[in-house]
Chains A and B, each alone.
Chain A
Amino acid sequence: MKESLEALERSAFSAIEEATTPKDLEGLRIKFLGRQGTIASILKEIATLPPEERPLVGQKANILKERIKSQIDERLKSLGSPLGAKAHREDTTLPGTCGATGRLHPLTQVIQEVCDVFLSLGFRVVEGPEIETEYYNFDALNIPKSHPSRDTFDTFYLDTTHLLRSQTSTVQIRVMEKEKPPLRIVAPGRVFRPDAVDASHSFMFHQVEGLCVDCDVRFSDLKGTLSLFSKQFFGPKTRTRFRPHFFPFTEPSAEVDISCILCDGKGCRLCKQKGWIEVLGAGMVHPNVFRAVKVDPSRYRGFAFGMGVERLAMLKYGVDDIRLFFENDLRFLRQF
């Protein structure tokens, strides 16, 4: 009796597996589970068994009945699925699905990444206003009254004293007016200059400004800090080069190059065969800037730096036209 139950299970399962239409399965259901079916006849036979075997066989028959039933149901489900009657399994090559997600703008991602590096070095993130006065944009930054950058060709004016800041260095002044050294800040933000728009110019762009003031800050510390930043941002193999330059608000001043991220310094189209790419302006805070915010330049020294976010993003992501950042073409944004 026990053996015939096992044989029945095998033949039933293979028959179910081979069935290809719901109709076949219905036939099997009647054959095995119907009122006149195989299981029913086994249950009838139980009466002929010795009383002590009856409960065990009965129990087994009932379990088998359930198993066949669920096997048929499952097979039926797979036949009834939209994949068609012939398919045996799901097609795993169909695309996966998930809820729609957007993307952060690449400029936001670059700003976050830059700030994260400096946050880890003990800098704080601060912001300042975009509508500024001549005092914060020029006077306090040691830019003489007659300096060309004050011309209406280089700065957007709202009236005789108010303007749209042309650099985030304004935030240095605002912070040092309120707080005394030691200080370490980075200030990301939007700046404006009346440039005609083309592939490499925009009348609006973003900068991140940095400032570190203490009694013993050295030019060599500036080199250390920005070398680390370049490696963090552009990759561990990046080398950094400091060249003398001129900015009214720093002295000594430097322009900072990184080894070309495409050719690693060998010379290519991106670096115009120079092997180096300029990415930053930096220097030691000019004593006149300290005087403007009533910090004693004989007691404190500091370094400051500024970088163009669009430029960093263009280098990092291989973007060759600055306008792409402001067109907001979804085919562009989707790639970030």
Chain B
Amino acid sequence: MKVSLEWLKEFVSIRLPTASLVDQLAMGGLEVIAIEKKGRDTLLEIEITPNRPDLLSHIGIAREIAALTGVSMKLPKQPATGNRKTHITKLPLRISIQDRSGCIRYMGRLFEHVQVGPTPPFLKDPLERLGFRSINNVVDITNYVLLEMGQPLHAFDGDRIEGGEIIIRSARRGETLLAIDGTNYSLREEDLVIADAKKPIALAGVIGGKETEVGPTTKRILLESAFFNSVRVRRTSKRLGVTTESSYRFERGVSLEGVQEGSERAHAFLSASAGAAFVSPLIDQGRRGSSTKRISISLQGLNETLGVSMPPQRVKSFLSSLGCRVAGQRLLHVIPPHFRKDLQIPVDLVEEVGRLLGYDKIPVTTPPMERTPLEQRTVSDAPERSLEEKVKMLLVSQGLFEAVTYSLLSKGLLKTFFGDRPIAIPIRNPISLEQELLRPSLAPRLVEAASYNFRRKSEGVSFFELGSVYEKEGNRYRERKSLAIFLAGKDAGTWKTKPSSYDYFDLKGRCELLLKTFCPFIEIAYRSASLPFFSAGGLSVELLGGGKKIGILGELSTSIVSQFDLKGRAYVAELNFSEFSKIASLSKRVLSVPKHPSVRRDIALIADRSISSEELVKTMREQGGEGLSEVSLFDTYSDPRIVPEGSRGLAYRIEFLHPDRSLTDEEVNEKYRSILEALKKKGVQIRST
């Protein structure tokens, strides 16, 4: 809302320098977002919150300044009356409201002998300073009253209303309106229109029609002052993309009383400046006035809510300055003025008093101690959250950067990863292709983020993301946390260790670290599986924790790698974090540190490639029994001079440990031999012992 300081001064005396006024307005809840000098005048652009439609006028702002600065208001001067004859004849027009939910009050005044012409300077100048183009005296008067009092008005050329009838109704299917902006709008049934006997002549509260526009030849006018349903006006205005001074005010709500005040004010100006003679009694349809509402509020409650202690006189004077009628002492009975529809319940008055006192005058205090008995309290409702924080820190320590990507994605991106399977929840009203679907997996957006970096000359990308993924099961929407890890290209390396390409085991190692750290007592297994975006026949497995599937990991398919310009090979793991947190634990159980040294033995072997490492380790563990504490792979080799085609060389270190005593050589050797025997039975060749 843009206001002229000179215009405001007609209603309130402002002695403050502009900067102080702007400050006082801000502290009163009216933020000035721009100040513009215009000759001797200063224009203020003020942000008005949606609960205060009464401030969308100069009188409204002046009232607020008067209350905030503690001065009184001057009422607007009535213009010198010119030819103000009222000759009541037979009413040449009938007005009816058909759509009563759309039109709450409609007031029409018919004027004859109107002389359309230039506008006198006292009306024209303030309008022009505020950026309104002067059209003619009639239109300018409606705009003047709108800016002065906040009531939108519309003037129709009375001779162009067909059939002597004004009907406020819903538009009919197929109807159109050529508006004064020159556009021909197609109307829908939800649009509220002003129609004559034949057709719509205006979109109620939004824009007038071209055909009934007041022009130089106009002799008779119908002046409309009305109260239209704010939602209807907003919907039509938004749908058609037409926002006018009028629609803006109707959207926020006008007052029933204002309808009449506006109409009368325009009447005065029309008589004085357009030679208009008022014909016909006022035609007034709909509700006339709102019932006055009394709000009772206890002074103690008001003071306690704000944290202050004000005497009743102070509170009453604040409320009176806003135009409220106030009675009582400890219990105040307050009747707000008709233009303050936002004042409904006691706390609304608390805010008004706080606002006029100044929020900066309210002290700064310490809230009371939380009184929930300690034995009933928990520090956090979200143990998952503290797990999340620890998981993130562990991954960061492993050289991974946390990414945050959009939860919404395009159909195209999803299709690249999941083909045509319709697994994602669609958004009904996306405003771009980027927002069509809710992500069912973190992988697509994470790969996209990696691509962004590779296209900017990154040599390697290591990301993780922890966020929600969404899916629909039947009619229910499901949302759960997911954790994705992404590796591609080369690690950073140092001048001592050259950068090396990430591989599957770098990914698996990070997953295993998480599981070993947070689920040390859960049995972990892998099951090879063919999964949507992993390379066919390549490395892709399902991760099982305690027998349940908790995630997937593998190498990204080469088609995705090339489509996204990733360098080298790319690896992705995605864990169902909800499932993971079910088996994870932040509590630790510690085994005592061994008192006796362990005994180590190495085994280098050559085995057929069909025998997995998992199987070999299992054999060793079975034979080693309880005394075997650790089996670890420390080398692999494939030198063709030693390892035949179809086989591979593996070297394991095994450790034996007894909790209570040192192991003897005989004990260890016996177990070791039985391990070797068992391996040999599997067709494994032992290289050296």
B452 near A220 with CB under 8 A, answer no
For window 171-199 of chain A, which residues contact chain B by CB distance below 8 Å?
Answer: 182, 184-185, 190, 192, 194-197
B347 near A328 with CB under 8 A, answer no
Docked Cα-Cα span, A308 to B231, in Å, equals 29
Of the listed stretches A22-30, A33-41, A251-259, chain B binds A251-259
* Residues on A with beta carbons closer than 8 Å to the beta carbon of B456: 329, 331
For window 419-446 of chain B, which residues contact chain A by CB distance below 8 Å?
Answer: 425-432, 434-435, 438
Which of A157, A223, A251, A329 gathers most chain B CB within 10 Å?
A251
Do A245 and B49 contact each other (CB < 8 Å), given the known contacts A130-B407, A204-B406, A220-B364?
yes
* Residues on A with beta carbons closer than 8 Å to the beta carbon of B307: 218-221, 223
* Residues on B with beta carbons closer than 8 Å to the beta carbon of A101: 396-399
For window 640-658 of chain B, which residues contact chain A by CB distance below 8 Å?
Answer: none
Do A334 and B401 contact each other (CB < 8 Å), given the known contacts A158-B428, A162-B477, A244-B359?
yes
How far in angstroms is the closest Cβ of chain A from B457?
A: 10
B461 near A330 with CB under 8 A, answer yes
* Residues on A with beta carbons closer than 8 Å to the beta carbon of B375: none
Query: Is A107 part of the contact surface with B, judged by Cβ < 8 Å?
Result: yes
Query: Is A119 part of the contact surface with B, judged by Cβ < 8 Å?
Result: yes
A190 near B407 with CB under 8 A, answer yes
Query: Is B402 part of the contact surface with A, judged by Cβ < 8 Å?
Result: yes
Docked Cα-Cα span, A145 to B382, in Å, equals 33
A251 near B350 with CB under 8 A, answer yes
Query: Is B612 part of the contact surface with A, judged by Cβ < 8 Å?
Result: no
Query: Is B52 part of the contact surface with A, judged by Cβ < 8 Å?
Result: yes
Query: Is B513 part of the contact surface with A, judged by Cβ < 8 Å?
Result: no
Docked Cα-Cα span, A229 to B229, in Å, equals 43
Of the residues A104, A185, A196, A224, contact of B432 by C-beta under 8 Å: A196
Query: Is B290 part of the contact surface with A, judged by Cβ < 8 Å?
Result: no
Docked Cα-Cα span, A179 to B461, in Å, equals 45
A122's nearest neighbour on chain B, judged by CB, is B370
A148 near B234 with CB under 8 A, answer yes
B396 near A253 with CB under 8 A, answer no
Query: Is B230 part of the contact surface with A, judged by Cβ < 8 Å?
Result: yes
Docked Cα-Cα span, A246 to B52, in Å, equals 9
Do A108 and B31 contact each other (CB < 8 Å), given the known contacts A124-B381, A157-B427, A243-B26?
no
Of the listed stretches B112-120, B489-497, B561-569, B613-621, chain A binds B489-497
Query: Is A212 part of the contact surface with B, judged by Cβ < 8 Å?
Result: yes
The 8 A CB mask of B360-378 against A (1 = contact, 0 = none) is: 1011111111111000001
Docked Cα-Cα span, A245 to B29, in Å, equals 5
* Residues on B with beta carbons closer than 8 Å to the beta carbon of A102: 395-402, 462, 464
* Residues on B with beta carbons closer than 8 Å to the beta carbon of A184: 370
A287 near B347 with CB under 8 A, answer yes
* Residues on B with beta carbons closer than 8 Å to the beta carbon of A108: 392, 402, 404
For window 105-159 of chain A, which residues contact chain B by CB distance below 8 Å?
Answer: 105, 107-108, 112, 119, 121-122, 124-127, 129-131, 146, 148, 151-153, 156-159
How far in angstroms is the closest Cβ of chain B from A132?
A: 10
Docked Cα-Cα span, A254 to B378, in Å, equals 30
Of the listed stretches A7-15, A46-54, A57-65, A91-99, chain B binds A91-99
Count of B residues near A, CB < 8 Å?
Answer: 93
Which of B350, B359, B393, B431 gathers most chain A CB within 10 Å?
B359
Docked Cα-Cα span, A119 to B377, in Å, equals 13
A99 near B345 with CB under 8 A, answer no
A-B contact count, CB below 8 Å? 237
The 8 A CB mask of A204-222 against B (1 = contact, 0 = none) is: 1000000010101111110
Docked Cα-Cα span, A324 to B401, in Å, equals 15
B371 near A214 with CB under 8 A, answer yes
B365 near A224 with CB under 8 A, answer yes
Of the residues A99, A162, A194, A224, contact of B431 by C-beta under 8 Å: A194
Of the residues B425, B430, B453, contact of A329 by C-beta under 8 Å: B453
For window 292-336 of chain A, which residues contact chain B by CB distance below 8 Å?
Answer: 301, 325-331, 333-334
A216 near B401 with CB under 8 A, answer no
A329 near B452 with CB under 8 A, answer yes
Query: Is B305 part of the contact surface with A, judged by Cβ < 8 Å?
Result: yes
The 8 A CB mask of A56-75 against B (1 = contact, 0 = none) is: 00000000000000000000
Of the residues B426, B449, B470, contact of A327 by C-beta under 8 Å: B449
Which of B27, B365, B434, B462 gathers most chain A CB within 10 Å?
B365
Of the residues A119, A219, A244, contact of B306 by C-beta under 8 Å: A219
Of the residues B305, B430, B452, B497, contact of A218 by C-beta under 8 Å: B305
Do A216 and B304 contact each other (CB < 8 Å), given the known contacts A190-B468, A194-B430?
yes
* Residues on A with beta carbons closer than 8 Å to the beta carbon of B365: 218, 220-221, 223-224
Do A107 and B404 contact each other (CB < 8 Å), given the known contacts A124-B379, A156-B427, A214-B368?
yes
List 20 contacting pairs A-B, 8 Å CB cutoff, sorted by A: A95-B494, A97-B494, A100-B398, A100-B462, A102-B397, A104-B396, A156-B429, A203-B406, A204-B406, A216-B368, A219-B362, A220-B365, A221-B368, A223-B359, A225-B367, A246-B29, A246-B49, A251-B348, A328-B401, A329-B456
Q: Which residues of B contact A (CB under 8 A)?
A: 26-29, 31, 49-52, 230-231, 234, 238, 251, 304-308, 345, 347-348, 350-351, 354-355, 359-360, 362-372, 378-382, 385, 389, 392-393, 395-408, 425-432, 434-435, 438, 449, 452-453, 456, 458, 461-464, 467-468, 470, 477, 479, 491-492, 494-497
- Enumerate the 8 nearest inter-chain pairs by beta-carbon distance, A residue then B residue, closest first: A220-B307, A244-B29, A100-B399, A218-B307, A252-B351, A246-B49, A221-B367, A328-B449
